């Protein structure tokens, strides 16, 4: 399998958890490189359903090493809760999970600031997951963040924390929000740090050694390309590089050591939170996709906005990630439709374009130019070979891969491991 980066080619929730899970069989190591517990990767194993937020999906396979890289922002309490939850369901989290000592921490004041900022934005709110992700990355870039390594020096941790809580409380008072107690946070997080110590490591050195030893490493991207801080629909984005380049910055593995990039995309499009979504369906068809596809956020439970496949968006994703292979998920959700549309270009202020405008207000004005396909109107859930799919389904899948500009490699026809077609 070689060293593979897996990314979302749309606005997140592409079904990366399922594809990662399928690919993990051949991997030795699974690594998260960005984002935090804003992510929600759903994996179904047999009759069990798991939703992972911070821990790489490889944890569900015995014998795989799972690494939370330096580019991730880690909420220690959320991490411990996830460890406890997995253990309570019989999953081993012992010797198979490591957290980078250089990863930044998400602390309660980040969540408070996330809420205050969203409230202040009013109608222009981003619709964040309120997990404190943006403020944590802001602290990292402003060089005022606390890192996992600080958990190992309680005095230093407390001193930095005191300063940050004081600073945040001044902001909280300005906006009439509830202030935080330094002591309560300090006690809770120092206790958490004791439990977390066994997982903390210099993952940069370790990952490079494993890569040199020929181990198969799978980089698990979170969110999606159009939520990337640089390449997404800014400001309606998350605060990290969700794209393939993030895998290098977020783990310390150099770019020339990455062998392959796999892009995951749904056979249609969804988005959670605010921001432009040219192919969004606000009618019954959108409701049908939401209900058939069970499109509700894995982290927040929010209903996802649903729409047709947007090939302008995925073509851009193939370009910025260097996607070699595509995995198309949730094909079965389209099984009952008589007609299916694909956006092949945008019409912006009367002109047809295949570019994504940098200006978010221009993006909001983009109207999709559609190509229409006949649906296959038969169940694909039991099909395991590409050639056994209905001709119209094959045509549709080949067409969306061709429009996106990469090779179709995997087709998913259901949430379970077995419901997967390899080409
Ligand atoms: P944040 O990452 O919580 O700051 O949220 C910023 C934007 O990214 C919002 O529109 C969220 O809904 C979206 N977002 C964050 N994480 C995910 C995810 O895992 N899947 C889908 N959308 C996400």
Q: Which DSSP category does 107 fall into?
A: -
Percentage of the chain modeled with pLDDT above 90? 95
Question: Peptide bond before 89: cis, by omega within 30 degrees of 0?
Answer: no
Q: Whose CA is nearest to atom 15 of ligand 1?
A: 38
- Ligand 1 site residues (CB inside 6 A) read 12-13, 38-40, 126-129, 131, 133-134, 222-223, 227, 238-239, 272-273
Mutational pocket test of ligand 1: of 20, 34, 53, 128, the residue with most ligand atoms within 8 Å of the beta carbon: 128
Would you list the domain boundaries of the chain? Answer: 4-95+203-422, 104-199
> Rounded to the nearest whole angstrom, what is the distance from the C-alpha of residue 115 to the centroid of ligand 1?
14
Residues 6+ apart with CB under 8 A from 359: none
pLDDT tens for each residue of 105-142: 999 999 999 999 999 999 899 999 999 999 999 999 99
pLDDT tens for each residue of 49-76: 999 999 999 999 999 999 999 999 999 9
* Kind and range of the H or E run holding 331: none
Indicate the length of the chain as a whole number: 423
Question: What's the pLDDT at 45?
Answer: 86
Give bridge partners of residue 309 from the DSSP assignment: 342
Q: Which atom of ligand 1 is nearest to the CA of 129?
A: 3
46 pLDDT higher than 80:
yes
Residues 6+ apart with CB under 8 A from 27: 1, 4, 58, 64, 216, 217, 218
- The answer to whether 202 and 241 are in contact (CB under 8 A) is no
User: How distant, in Å, are the alpha carbons of 70, 104, 221, 308, 346 from that of 311?
Assistant: 32, 35, 20, 9, 10
Q: Which atom of ligand 1 is nearest to the CA of 131?
A: 3
Q: Whose CA is nearest to atom 19 of ligand 1?
A: 39
Tell me the DSSP string of 203-272.
HHHHHHHHHHTT--EEEE--S-GGG-TTTSSTTSS-SS--STHHHHHTT---GGG--EEEEEEESSEEE-
Q: Whose CA is nearest to atom 8 of ligand 1?
A: 238
7: left (phi > 0), else alpha (psi -120 to 50), else beta? beta
* Kind and range of the H or E run holding 340: strand 339-348
Mutational pocket test of ligand 1: of 115, 227, 360, the residue with most ligand atoms within 8 Å of the beta carbon: 227
374 part of the active site: no
41 pLDDT higher than 90:
no
Query: Phi, psi at residue 153, to the nearest 5°?
Result: -125, 85
- The answer to whether 242 and 54 are in contact (CB under 8 A) is no
> Rounded to the nearest whole angstrom, what is the distance from the C-alpha of residue 266 to the centroid of ligand 1?
17
Mutational pocket test of ligand 1: of 272, 293, 295, 301, the residue with most ligand atoms within 8 Å of the beta carbon: 272
Q: Whose CA is nearest to atom 11 of ligand 1?
A: 128
Q: Whose CA is nearest to atom 5 of ligand 1?
A: 128
pLDDT tens for each residue of 391-415: 999 999 999 999 999 999 999 999 9
Q: Are strands 339-348 and 351-353 parallel, antiparallel or unpaired?
A: antiparallel
299 pLDDT higher than 90:
no
Question: What's the pLDDT at 42?
Answer: 87
Answer yes or no: same fold for 4-95+203-422 and 104-199: no
Marked catalytic residue, from 21, 28, 41, 110:
41
Q: Whose CA is nearest to atom 12 of ligand 1?
A: 273
The candidate with the shortest Cα–Cα distance to 265, out of 400, 122, 387, is 400
Q: What whole-number distance in Å separates Cα of residue 122 and Cα of residue 145?
A: 27
Q: Average pLDDT in the 224-252 region?
A: 98
212 part of the active site: no
Q: pTM higher than 0.85, yes or no?
A: yes
Average pLDDT, the chain: 96
- The answer to whether 345 and 353 are in contact (CB under 8 A) is yes
CATH code for 104-199?
1.10.300.10
1 pLDDT higher than 80:
no
CATH 3.40.50.720 fits 4-95+203-422, yes or no: no
């Amino acid at each position: 399998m070689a060293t593979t980066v897996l990314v979302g080619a749309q606005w997140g929730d592409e079904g990366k958890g399922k594809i990662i899970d399928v690919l993990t069989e051949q991997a030795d190591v699974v690594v998260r490189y960005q984002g935090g517990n804003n992510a929600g990767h759903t994996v179904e194993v047999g009759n069990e359903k798991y939703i992972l937020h911070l821990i790489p999906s490889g944890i569900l396979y015995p014998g795989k090493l799972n690494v939370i890289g330096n580019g991730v922002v880690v909420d220690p309490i959320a991490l411990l809760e996830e460890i406890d939850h997995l253990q309570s369901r019989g999953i081993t989290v012992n010797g198979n999970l490591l957290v980078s000592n250089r990863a930044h921490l998400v602390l309660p004041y980040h969540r408070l600031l996330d809420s205050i900022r969203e409230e202040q934005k009013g109608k222009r709110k981003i619709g964040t997951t309120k997990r404190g992700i943006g403020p944590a990355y802001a602290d990292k870039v402003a060089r005022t963040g606390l890192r996992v390594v600080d958990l190992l020096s309680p005095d230093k941790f407390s001193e930095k924390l005191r300063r940050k809580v004081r600073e945040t409380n001044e902001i909280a008072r300005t906006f009439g929000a509830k202030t935080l107690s330094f002591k309560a946070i300090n006690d809770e997080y120092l206790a958490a740090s004791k439990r977390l110590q066994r997982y903390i490591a210099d993952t940069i050195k370790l990952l490079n050694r494993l890569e040199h030893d020929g181990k198969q490493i799978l980089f698990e991207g979170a969110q999606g390309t159009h939520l990337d801080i640089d390449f997404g629909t800014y400001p309606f984005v998350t605060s990290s590089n969700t794209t393939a380049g993030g895998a290098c910055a977020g783990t310390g593995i150099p770019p020339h050591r990455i062998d392959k990039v796999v892009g995951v995309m749904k056979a249609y499009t969804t988005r959670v939170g605010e921001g432009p979504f040219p192919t969004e369906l606000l009618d019954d068809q959108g409701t049908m996709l939401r209900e058939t596809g069970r499109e509700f956020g894995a982290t927040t439970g929010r209903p996802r906005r649903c729409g047709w496949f947007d090939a302008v968006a995925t073509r851009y994703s193939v370009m910025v990630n260097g996607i070699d292979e595509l995995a198309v998920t949730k094909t079965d959700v389209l099984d009952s439709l008589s007609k299916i549309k694909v956006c092949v270009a945008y019409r912006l202020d009367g002109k047809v374009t295949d570019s994504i405008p940098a200006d978010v207000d221009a993006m909001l004005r983009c109207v999709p130019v559609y190509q229409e396909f006949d649906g296959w109107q038969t169940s694909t859930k039991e099909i395991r070979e590409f050639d056994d799919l209905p001709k119209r389904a094959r045509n549709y899948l080949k067409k969306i891969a061709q429009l996106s500009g990469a090779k179709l490699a995997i087709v998913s026809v259901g949430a379970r491991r077995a419901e997967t077609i390899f080409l």
